[in-house]
Amino acid sequence: MLKRIIGTGCALALYLAAPLLGELGVSGSVALAQEESEAEQVETRRVPSMSEATFKKLSEAQEAIDAKDLATAKQVLTGMLDRRDRMNGNEIGQVYNMLGFLYFSEENYGAAIDAYRNVIAQGEDIPAGLEVTTLYTLAQLSFVNEQYQQALDYMETWITKANNPGADPYIFMCQVYYQMDDYPSATRQCERGISVAQERGVETKEQWWALLNFLYYEQENWPKVLETLEVLVKRFPKADYWRRLAGIHGQIGNDQESLWSYEAADVGGFLERQSDFTNYAGLLMQQEVPFRAARVLERGLEKEVVERTDRNLQSLGQAWQLAQEVDKAIPVFLEAAKLSDEGKIYERLASLYLDDDQFQNCVEAANGALQKGGLRAPQNMYVIRGMCQYNMDDMTAARESFVECRTVSRREDDDPNRRICQQWITHIDREVERDEQLRRASI
């Protein structure tokens, strides 16, 4: 089956023209209409004339086609071929040409290919224009029939006969090579097609640039990937192109350029996904502008593009904390901590409360951290809880916290924390003893 061309929106375009009766006979075929408008006329050639009897039969078939009576049209045409010894090459070619169209209309591509081959088989007896359009038609039908090498062979012959072809044939060959997994050849054809269009002053299409960008990406040609993405974001600005541009810059280590891409996308209103806001904020954090990072995440949350998960809220809290906006960081961390399955966010929150002299809240956060668990070093949490309890003059509770800290530190072979906790225990015991002595002295 035909492979889907990822991210390009490219598709095979068969340019169909119904058989038309001309003054000199039937000249219709599956034709490349756009190519006819772009290329110079194919040189004329002298061909055998068409008899009145043949013309009448072809007219009869044409009338049946116009009436959508394809069965009758086919019967007329096959009947003519039964008497082909009475017709010249031009007449035979015109009959097969119309049959090819009929088979194509029935999606019988194999039979259509056979019919069009019989058109070409008439050689110099058919008009040069018919030969050229039929070759292109055969290439396209071969493509649809997944006969890719055959499609290329027809195209190579077509190029030798078509005068000054435009861009579309090269783009078509690019698609054929893509289906064959020959990305270097596909790239050359796509580049050639775009070049021809530019030389002629013809507008290049978004799908061409997207296809070329994809081919460069598959070959890891990052400079060219970036070059084509620059074209896409300038000429066909879309969120996906900005997203890719920022992503490729980040992939190759151009973090500053990646940030600029997100900034431009933000100005253009192209931040649409959660990842757009989180990646943008992450780059701002890397560049040490946490306040802007926090505003970006906050905007995403307000738009309900960014989900209020513990991870996203923790990122917002960290940004506010690094921006020295502790009053904004604390409620965000508290919401994140309640959503999290582990106690790590409560651990951070406890430290913030300690630094902000909110000792009761500090104790509650520390308890939450220890209760949820998942801490890398729970002994640290006992230290913080004990310090907050000490500052609340709750010496009994503080001592219990430091005793727990000492126990856990011993179990974890954490001598530094064990010594710290022992020092606190000794200090608290001395404080309690001193207070007791003062109490007795005052009696």
Contacts of 101 (CB under 8 A, 6+ apart): 16, 18, 19, 28, 29, 30, 65, 112
Q: What pLDDT does 2 receive?
A: 57
CA-atom Rg of the chain in angstroms: 39
Q: How far apart are CA 135 and CA 141, in angstroms?
A: 10
Q: How far apart are CA 261 and CA 269, in angstroms?
A: 12
Residue 199: CB atoms within 10 A of its CB come to 9
The pLDDT tens digits of the residues spanning 321-346 come to: 999 999 999 999 999 999 999 999 99
**Parallel/antiparallel/unpaired status of strands 25-26 and 21-22:** antiparallel
Q: How far apart are CA 343 and CA 323, in angstroms?
A: 23
User: What are 410's two structure tokens?
Assistant: 């011993």
Q: Are 283 and 262 in contact (CB under 8 A)?
A: yes
Low-confidence stretches of the chain (pLDDT beneath 50): 4-41
Residue 418: phi, psi to the nearest 5?
Answer: -60, -45
Angle at 16 between CA 162 and CA 165, to 5 degrees: 20
Angle at 230 between CA 224 and CA 231, to 5 degrees: 95
Q: What pLDDT does 3 receive?
A: 62
Q: What pLDDT does 153 receive?
A: 96
The pLDDT tens digits of the residues spanning 145-173 come to: 999 999 999 999 999 998 888 999 999 99
| Mean confidence (pLDDT) of the chain | 89
**Residue 26 host element (H or E):** strand 25-26
Q: What pLDDT does 12 receive?
A: 26
Number of separate helices (H) and strands (E) present in the chain: 22, 2
Q: Are 425 and 403 in contact (CB under 8 A)?
A: yes
Query: What DSSP assignment string belongs to 214-252?
Result: HHHHHTT-HHHHHHHHHHHHHHS--HHHHHHHHHHHHHT
Q: Could you tell me which of 285, 291, 365, 287 has the C-alpha nearest to residue 326? A: 291
In the chain, what are the helix, strand and coil shares in percent, each to the nearest 5? 70, 0, 25
Q: What pLDDT does 374 receive?
A: 92
The residue to which tokens 């069965």 are assigned: 71
**What's the residue count for the chain?**
443
Q: Are 280 and 247 in contact (CB under 8 A)?
A: no
The CA distances from residue 150 to 4, 75, 108, 142, 177, in Å, are 20, 30, 17, 6, 12
Amino acid letter for position 285: M
